[in-house]
Amino acid sequence: MASGSLRGRILRCADTPGAGGVEYFEDAVLSFADGRVTALLPTAEARAGGMDVEALEHLGERLIVPGFIDTHVHAPQLGIIGSYGEQLMAWLERYTFPAESRFADEDFAAAAMAEFLDELLRHGTTSALVFSTSHEAATNLLFTAARERGMRLVAGKVLMDRNAPAALLDTALGGEAASQRLIRRWHGTGRLAYAVTPRFSITSTEDQLAAAGRLLRDHPGVYLQTHLAENPGEIAAVGELFPDALHYLDTYDRHGLCGERSFFAHCVHLQEAERERLAATGSRVSLCPSSNMFLGSGLYDWAQLQRDGVCISLGSDVGAGTSLSMLRTLGDAYRVCQLQGMSLSPMDGFYALTLGNARALGLEGQVGSLGVGSEADFLVLDSAGDPKVRQRMRDVNSIEEEWFVYMMLGDERLVAQTWIAGREVRG
Ligand code: GUN
Ligand code: ZN
């Protein structure tokens, strides 16, 4: 059904919580046609307007929310979630690079990319900014699988021309040409968009970072995604490889890789000058708390980034993150903030997973808030999916309290339904 109406409780953000943007309806109707939202209004108003609201499917205690958005996740890393005992650089060598090498096999890649997207949907993530592998064919398979599912996905082939196994390396010019072919084929095709994806400065030469800058200049509207200042050992290695750079961010910045469509994952150990430059260029950071705790990378400073005016988004960073669930990611974000003396409010957390991440991607008219005219990507959450959450519901007195329980205790078990462009894709 790409057209229809559902009746139930609905939570969404029309703007930031600070600007009074949270809207909660105890009893409302969500209508959609041809994959887009056509109305979201209190049931009493729908009834007064002549709609036969009694005939609609009533979701009872369940809660409709916009589909969650993940701004940093690796498609080929599902198979290595929870691999023991290393920090970043050793983890990449021991687990990640071998796992990504398997994507040279196209049958394996086709099945794994499809499984990855189905898992995103099962966890309630309807849009994502995704690292593929360095294989062009595997990246085509990822986009093909996303198109089949009608998902809004931004993704890119990883660029790496040094410091990785030979099977994963491209060259500055070869990687640029492959990215160009992928951009022409996929960027702006349906709900898909392309992200130029240099893995990080350690695995790209100056020539390749310059090529990434050319790709951005030659194709306005494409995104950039990479990693920044995740781990002390990584930062020291960048210093040795780029002795004349002002700081880690400068290795990207001097090739034109900063900007409003550029996402820098992690940003745990930033210098003041880097924060200033991120803010001045409108660059986005993707904070990945689950990954940071798992790899022992450190604690990001959300409040400081906010004070500096840096645009913050949230990512799962699977497979260093230990769950695709953005509810779990948000719970971890809260815990990391607590350790830094900041209590992230429930509704700021809700905003981050929905409209906040959509705005960071420049997709606020399309996804993240269920506004009229936007794409009908939404979830039906059901506390009954987890007995302990269900039990906690007896004692909550407001939507803020309810959402905070979801944020601290919830995960994919609460996602009863996922809808993409007005179609239920799993029940
Ligand atoms: N830095 C470079 N590559 C990666 C990766 O795959 N995962 C994480 N967490 N950090 C990285
Ligand atoms: Zn990552």
100 lines ligand 1 (CB under 6 A): no
pLDDT bracket for residue 426 (50, 70, 90): confident
Phi, psi angle pair for 231, to nearest 5°: -145, 140
Tell me the average pLDDT across 192-212.
Answer: 98
Determine whether the shortest distance from the Cβ of 133 to ligand 1 is under 6 A.
Answer: no
Helix (H, G, I), strand (E, B) or coil at 284: strand
| 24's tokens | 């909660």
> Average pLDDT of 120-130?
98
292 lines ligand 1 (CB under 6 A): no
For ligand 1, say whether the CB of 74 is within 6 Å of any of its atoms. Answer: yes
For position 303, what pLDDT does the model report? 98
Its pTM stands at 0.98
Q: Could you give the CA distance from residue 212 to residue 242 in angstroms, rounded to a whole number?
A: 17
Structure tokens at 403: 């959402």
Alpha-carbon distance of 93 to 343, in angstroms, equals 36
Name 72's Cβ contacts closer than 8 Å, sequence gap at least 6: 129, 131, 225, 263, 265, 286, 288, 313, 315, 316, 317
Amino acid at 156: G
Question: Which numbered atom of ligand 1 lies nearest the CA of 77?
Answer: 6
Domains recognised in the chain with CATH numbers = 4-67+369-426 (2.30.40.10), 68-324 (3.20.20.140)
3-state secondary structure of 84: coil
Inter-residue contact 288 to 70 (CB < 8 Å) = no
Return the residue whose CA atom lies nearest to atom 9 of ligand 1: 320
Q: How confident is the model at residue 67 (pLDDT cuts 50, 70, 90)?
A: very high
Helix (H, G, I), strand (E, B) or coil at 196: strand
Question: Do the beta carbons of residue 348 and residue 15 sit within 8 Å?
Answer: no
260-285 residue pLDDT tens: 999 999 999 999 999 999 999 999 99
Q: What amino acid occupies position 399?
A: I
* Residues 312-337 as b or e (16 or more Cβ within 10 Å = b): bbbbbbbbbbbbbbbbbbbbbbbebb
pLDDT of amino acid 347: 98
- Asked if residues 302 and 312 have their Cβ atoms less than 8 Å apart, the reply is yes
- At 157, is the secondary structure helix, strand, or coil? coil
Nearest ligand to the C-alpha of residue 317? 2
**What would the two tokens of residue 291 be?**
């990954």
Question: Is 142 in contact with 113 (CB distance < 8 Å)?
Answer: yes
Protein residue with least CA distance to atom 1, ligand 1: 227
Residue 214 has pLDDT above 90, yes or no: yes
Phi-psi region at 422: left, alpha or beta (left = phi > 0; alpha = psi -120 to 50): left
Q: What pLDDT, on a 0 to 100 scale, did the predictor assign at position 225?
A: 99
**What are the backbone dihedrals phi and psi of residue 388, each rounded to the nearest 5 degrees, phi first?**
-70, -30
pLDDT exceeding 70 applies to what percent of the chain?
A: 100
Phi/psi-derived region of residue 240, left when phi > 0, alpha when psi is between -120 and 50, beta in every other case: alpha
- Give the span between the Cα atoms of 82 and 367, in whole angstroms: 31
What average pLDDT does the structure give for the chain? Answer: 97
* Pairing state between β 158-159 and 68-74: unpaired
**Is residue 301 classed as helix, strand or coil in its secondary structure?**
coil
pLDDT greater than 90 at residue 321: yes
Token match 């880690």: residue? Answer: 248
For ligand 1, atom 11, which residue shows the shortest CA distance?
227
d(CA 176, CA 214): 9
Name the helix (H) or strand (E) containing 419. strand 415-420
Cβ of 227 less than 6 Å from ligand 1: yes
Q: Residue 151 above 70 pLDDT? A: yes
- For residue 427, the one-letter residue type is G
294 lines ligand 1 (CB under 6 A): no
Strands of the sheet containing 4-13, edge to edge, are: 36-42, 22-33, 4-13, 57-66, 378-381, 415-420, 423-426
Q: Which positions ≥6 away from 315 have C-beta within 8 Å?
A: 70, 71, 72, 73, 129, 265, 286, 287, 288, 321, 329
Taking alpha carbons only, the member of 321, 332, 315 closest to residue 409 is 332
Q: Write out the two tokens for 297.
A: 């990378």
Centroid of ligand 1 to alpha carbon of 163 (angstroms): 13
The ligand with the least distance to the CA atom of 158 is 1
Given ligand 1 and candidates 81, 225, 230, 235, which is best to mutate, with the most ligand atoms within 8 Å of its CB?
230
Residue 2 has pLDDT above 90, yes or no: no
Burial of 49 (0-12, 13-18, 19+ CB in 10 A): exposed
- pLDDT band (50, 70, 90) for residue 1: low
CA separation for the pair 380, 219 (Å, rounded): 37
- Rounded Cα gap, residues 29 and 55, in angstroms: 12
Which is nearest to 325 in space by CA: 149, 121, 80?
Answer: 121
pLDDT value for 427:
46
Residue 16 C-alpha to ligand 2 middle, in angstroms? 27
